[in-house]
C-alpha cells in the first residue's frame, strides 16, 4: 500500500483555507498514486482551536467542510483530524476525532482515547475520551488509527499523567497490518527525538509499521516541528519528513526499506523553530513588517537575526534609541549589526522626553532619591517610541527579553516588554549565547563584542546585570530545576550546592514577577515549561514570599 503523509501547516479556524490545503494534498496523493493520504490531528481546524470548539456554529461549519473533503475523495482514502459532535449524552459534547474516508464515503470515526490535560493541553475541557478502538479496512489492509497522545502511554514517557488505558496494547491484540497516528505534537528542545522513541516502542509492540503525520507551523505560542515519519515493524525509523516546513512524504509499505537514522542539530532546530514561530505569527495574522529596538546587546541582536530570516531583510526596522547612559561601545555594536544585516534603521534619542518627564515629576518627587522609577522611565520612553512607529507605519514591535531576565522580572513593564511578540521569552540566557555562536558559525553576523561584553541595561552609569542578578548560569540552573523539574529549593541546593538563601531568593523573584509576565506579549514556547503558556500560577499567593 502507498500512503502519503501530508504534513500541512493549518491556520487556527481557517476552515476554507485548511480545507484548500487538504484538497491540494489529496491531488498530490493522486499524482503519486497513493491509495491513502494522512493528515495531522485536528487538521481541519488547526491545533489548538481552543474555545472556538465551544461555539455550536463553529462545529456546524466544520461539518460543512468535512462534506467538501468527502466529495473530493473519489477513488482514494483520506484520514483527517477534526472535532466531531458526540452523538451520545456524555460529559463533553465533542470528540477529538479522525474521519476515515474512502471513495466519497465516511467509513467512520476513530476518536481519541487519551486526552492530554496538563502543560499547554486542555483537551478534557472540550473532549470526551473514546471508549473503543477498532481496525479499518481499506484496499484489503487492516489499519489501526490513533491520535497523538494515544501512542504515548505505552512508553510511559508522559509527565504528570499515567493513563489507565494503553491504546497500543489494545490495538496490538487486533493484529493490524499497520497503524497510523495523527499528531499535533508541539516542538520543545529535543522533543522530536523523544517522539520518535515513543513511536518506535509502539511499532515494536504492535509488530507492524507505524506512520505518524505531525502538524507543522506556529500557532500563537506553540510551534509544531513536523518531522513526520514512518517506522518499520522492527521499531526502526525508515524515513522522515522535513522539520519546520510543510512536506509530503510517500510511504510504500510493500517495499523493503533500510532504516534511516534521525539526525538533527538541536541548536539549529531551536533557531528554525523560532524563525517559524515568528513567521507564522505574522503571516497568519496578515502582518509583514517588524520593528525592534537595537541596543547593541545580545538579545536584540539575536531577535533581529531571527526576524530577518523569518520576514526578509526589507521587512525589519531596527531603531536605536540612545540616552545619556548609552556607552559608545553599544552604539558601535548596534550600528555594526544593522549594517551587517542590512536592515532599515532609525535613530531616535530618548533625551528630549526623558528631560521633559524629569522636569514634570520633579515637583512631585522632590526629595526622593533616584531609583528604579527613573530607570523604568527610560525603558518606557523607548517602548512608547516603538509603539508610535508601530501605530504610524503598521509594524509589529518585537520584544526582546529572554527567559532568564523575564523569570527575574529584570524587564520594565510597558517599557522593553512592549510588543506584539516576545520572540525569545522562553530562551534562557545560556541558549541565547549558544544561538548567537551558531549564527556566527561561518562569519561574524552578531558583533563579537556584543557576545563577549558583560550584559548591561544601560539605564544608569556603569550599570551591569550582575549588579543585581547572580550569574546567568545560576539563574538558568534554578529555572531548569524549579520551573521545568518542579524541584523544591532544598532539592536544588542538593543538585548544585548553591546556598539555600540564594535559591530561595531566586524562587521568590520568579513568583513575585508573575504579575509582570501576566501582562507580557505572547512568547514562543521552546521548552517543556514556558512561562504564561502551560504554567499557571496565581499572582497573589503566600506559599513563596
Residue 255 in the binding site for a copy of itself (CB under 8 A):
no
**Shorter beta-carbon distance to a copy of itself: residue 198 or 492:** 492
Residue 50 in the binding site for a copy of itself (CB under 8 A):
yes
Residue 125 in the binding site for a copy of itself (CB under 8 A):
yes
Nearest distance in Å: CB 517, a copy of itself: 11
Residues in 207-226 that interact with a copy of itself by CB under 8 A: 219-220
Residue 403 in the binding site for a copy of itself (CB under 8 A):
no
**Shorter beta-carbon distance to a copy of itself: residue 450 or 513:** 513
Nearest distance in Å: CB 1, a copy of itself: 35
Q: Which residues make beta-bridge pairs with 111?
A: 97
**Shorter beta-carbon distance to a copy of itself: residue 32 or 118:** 118
Name the DSSP letter for residue 155: G
The full DSSP string for 183-223 is E--B--TTHHHHHHHHHHHHHHHHTS-EEEEE-EEEETTEE
Residue 132 in the binding site for a copy of itself (CB under 8 A):
no
Residues in 449-508 that interact with a copy of itself by CB under 8 A: 486, 488, 490-491
Rounded Cα distance between 40 and 221, Å, is 19
**Contact (Cβ atoms closer than 8 angstroms) between residue 429 and residue 404:** yes
Among 254, 258, 359, 497, binds a copy of itself (CB under 8 A): 359
Of 251, 264, 180, the closest CA to residue 225 belongs to 264
Residue 539 in the binding site for a copy of itself (CB under 8 A):
yes
State the residue for C-alpha cell 493490524. 176
Q: Is 112 a catalytic residue?
A: yes
Count residues near a copy of itself (CB under 8 A): 91
Quickly count: other Cβ atoms within 10 Å of residue 411's Cβ. 23
Among 103, 388, 466, 494, binds a copy of itself (CB under 8 A): 388
Which residues contact residue 260 at a Cβ distance below 8 angstroms, ignoring those fewer than 6 apart?
A: 237, 238, 239, 240
Cα dist from 481 to 215, 289, 291, whole Å:
30, 37, 34
Rounded Cα distance between 496 and 487, Å, is 12
Quickly count: other Cβ atoms within 10 Å of residue 487's Cβ. 18
Nearest distance in Å: CB 14, a copy of itself: 4
Residues in 409-438 that interact with a copy of itself by CB under 8 A: 413-414, 418, 420
Report the side by side order of strands in the sheet with 77-85.
105-111, 94-102, 77-85, 36-38, 2-7, 247-252
Cα dist from 76 to 17, 71, 184, whole Å:
21, 11, 24
Q: Residue 448 is placed in which grid cell? A: 563579537
Q: Residue 449 is placed in which grid cell? A: 563584542
**Shorter beta-carbon distance to a copy of itself: residue 107 or 502:** 502
Catalytic residue among 93, 123, 128, 148: 148
Span of 52-60, 70-78, 169-177, 334-342 interacting with a copy of itself by CB under 8 A: 52-60
How does 79-107 read in b/e, with b if 16+ C-beta sit within 10 Å? bbbbbbebeeeeebbbbbbbbbbbeeeee
Residue 371 in the binding site for a copy of itself (CB under 8 A):
yes
**Shorter beta-carbon distance to a copy of itself: residue 329 or 522:** 522
Residue 520 in the binding site for a copy of itself (CB under 8 A):
yes
Q: What are phi and psi of 319, to 5 degrees?
A: -115, 125
Residue 296 in the binding site for a copy of itself (CB under 8 A):
no
**Shorter beta-carbon distance to a copy of itself: residue 361 or 445:** 361
Among 174, 175, 360, 500, binds a copy of itself (CB under 8 A): 360
Residue 187 in the binding site for a copy of itself (CB under 8 A):
no
Q: Is 41 a catalytic residue?
A: yes
Pairing of strands 316-320, 290-293: parallel
Residue 391 in the binding site for a copy of itself (CB under 8 A):
yes
What is the contact mask toward a copy of itself in residues 30 to 49, using x (rule: CB under 8 A)? ------------------xx
Nearest distance in Å: CB 92, a copy of itself: 7
Span of 14-22, 31-39, 238-246, 459-467 interacting with a copy of itself by CB under 8 A: 14-22
Q: Residue 506 is placed in which grid cell? A: 531566586
Cα 267-464-530 angle, rounded to 5 deg: 40
Residue 284 in the binding site for a copy of itself (CB under 8 A):
yes
Q: Residues 98, 102, 105, 107: is their CA dihedral positive or negative?
A: negative
Residue 538 in the binding site for a copy of itself (CB under 8 A):
yes
Residue 23 in the binding site for a copy of itself (CB under 8 A):
no
Residue 90 in the binding site for a copy of itself (CB under 8 A):
yes
- Cis amide linkage into residue 309, ω under 30° from 0: no
Q: Is 27 a catalytic residue?
A: no
Among 132, 162, 263, 442, binds a copy of itself (CB under 8 A): 162
**Shorter beta-carbon distance to a copy of itself: residue 441 or 542:** 542
Q: Which residues are catalytic?
A: 41, 112, 148
Amino acid at each position: 500500500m502507498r500512503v502519503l503523509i501530508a504534513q500541512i501547516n493549518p491556520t487556527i479556524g481557517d476552515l476554507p483555507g485548511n480545507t484548500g490545503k487538504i484538497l491540494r494534498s489529496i491531488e498530490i496523493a493522486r499524482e503519486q498514486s497513493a491509495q491513502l493520504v494522512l493528515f495531522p490531528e485536528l487538521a481541519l481546524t488547526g491545533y489548538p482551536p481552543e474555545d472556538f470548539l465551544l461555539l455550536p456554529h463553529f462545529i456546524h461549519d466544520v461539518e460543512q467542510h468535512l462534506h467538501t473533503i468527502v466529495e473530493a475523495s473519489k477513488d482514494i482514502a483520506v484520514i483527517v483530524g477534526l472535532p466531531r459532535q458526540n452523538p451520545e449524552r456524555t460529559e463533553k459534547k465533542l470528540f477529538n476525532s479522525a474521519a476515515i474516508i474512502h471513495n466519497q464515503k465516511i467509513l467512520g470515526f476513530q476518536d481519541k482515547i487519551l486526552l492530554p490535560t496538563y502543560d499547554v493541553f486542555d483537551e478534557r475541557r472540550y473532549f470526551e475520551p473514546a471508549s473503543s478502538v477498532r481496525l479499518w479496512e481499506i484496499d484489503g489492509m487492516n489499519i489501526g488509527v490513533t491520535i497523538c497522545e494515544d501512542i504515548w502511554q505505552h512508553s510511559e514517557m508522559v509527565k504528570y499523567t499515567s493513563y489507565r488505558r494503553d491504546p497500543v496494547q489494545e490495538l496490538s491484540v487486533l493484529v493490524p497490518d499497520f497503524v497510523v497516528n495523527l499528531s499535533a505534537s508541539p516542538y520543545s528542545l529535543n522533543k522530536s527525538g523523544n517522539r520518535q522513541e515513543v513511536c518506535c516502542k509502539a511499532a515494536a509492540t504492535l509488530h507492524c509499521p507505524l506512520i505518524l503525520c505531525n502538524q507543522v507551523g506556529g500557532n500563537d505560542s506553540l510551534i509544531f516541528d513536523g518531522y513526520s515519519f514512518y517506522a518499520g515493524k522492527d521499531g526502526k525509523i525508515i524515513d522522515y519528513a522535513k522539520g519546520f516546513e510543510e512536506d509530503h512524504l510517500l510511504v510504500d509499505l510493500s517495499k523493503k526499506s533500510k532504516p534511516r537514522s534521525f539526525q538533527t542539530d538541536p541548536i539549529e532546530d531551536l533557531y528554525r523553530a523560532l524563525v517559524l514561530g515568528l513567521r507564522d505569527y505574522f503571516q497568519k495574522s496578515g502582518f509583514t513588517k517588524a520593528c525592534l529596538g537595537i541596543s547593541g546587546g545580545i538579545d536584540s541582536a539575536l531577535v533581529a537575526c531571527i526576524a530577518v530570516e523569518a520576514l526578509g531583510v526589507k521587512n525589519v526596522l531596527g531603531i536605536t534609541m540612545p540616552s545619556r547612559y548609552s556607552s559608545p561601545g553599544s552604539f558601535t555594536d548596534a550600528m555594526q549589526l544593522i549594517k551587517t544585516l542590512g536592515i532599515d534603521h532609525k535613530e531616535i534619542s530618548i533625551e528630549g522626553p526623558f528631560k521633559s518627564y524629569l522636569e514634570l515629576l520633579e515637583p512631585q518627587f522632590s526629595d526622593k532619591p533616584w531609583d528604579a522609577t527613573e530607570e523604568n522611565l527610560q525603558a518606557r520612553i523607548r517602548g512608547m517610541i516603538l509603539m508610535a512607529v508601530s501605530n504610524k507605519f503598521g509594524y509589529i514591535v518585537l520584544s526582546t527579553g529572554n527567559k532568564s531576565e523575564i523569570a527575574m522580572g529584570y524587564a520594565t513593564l510597558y517599557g522593553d516588554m512592549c510588543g506584539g511578540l516576545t520572540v525569545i521569552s522562553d530562551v534562557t540566557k545560556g541558549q541565547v549565547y549558544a544561538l548567537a555562536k551558531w549564527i556566527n558559525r561561518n562569519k561574524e553576523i552578531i558583533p563579537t563584542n556584543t557576545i563577549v561584553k558583560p550584559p548591561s541595561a544601560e539605564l544608569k552609569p556603569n550599570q551591569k546585570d550582575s549588579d543585581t542578578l547572580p550569574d546567568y548560569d545560576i539563574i538558568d540552573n534554578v529555572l531548569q530545576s524549579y520551573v521545568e523539574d518542579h524541584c523544591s529549593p532544598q532539592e536544588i541546593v542538593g543538585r548544585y550546592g548553591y546556598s539555600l538563601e540564594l535559591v530561595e531568593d531566586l524562587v521568590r523573584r520568579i513568583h513575585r514577577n508573575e504579575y509582570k509576565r501576566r501582562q507580557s506579549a505572547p512568547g514562543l514556547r521552546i521548552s517543556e515549561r514556558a512561562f504564561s503558556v502551560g504554567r499557571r500560577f496565581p499572582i497573589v499567593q503566600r506559599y513563596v514570599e
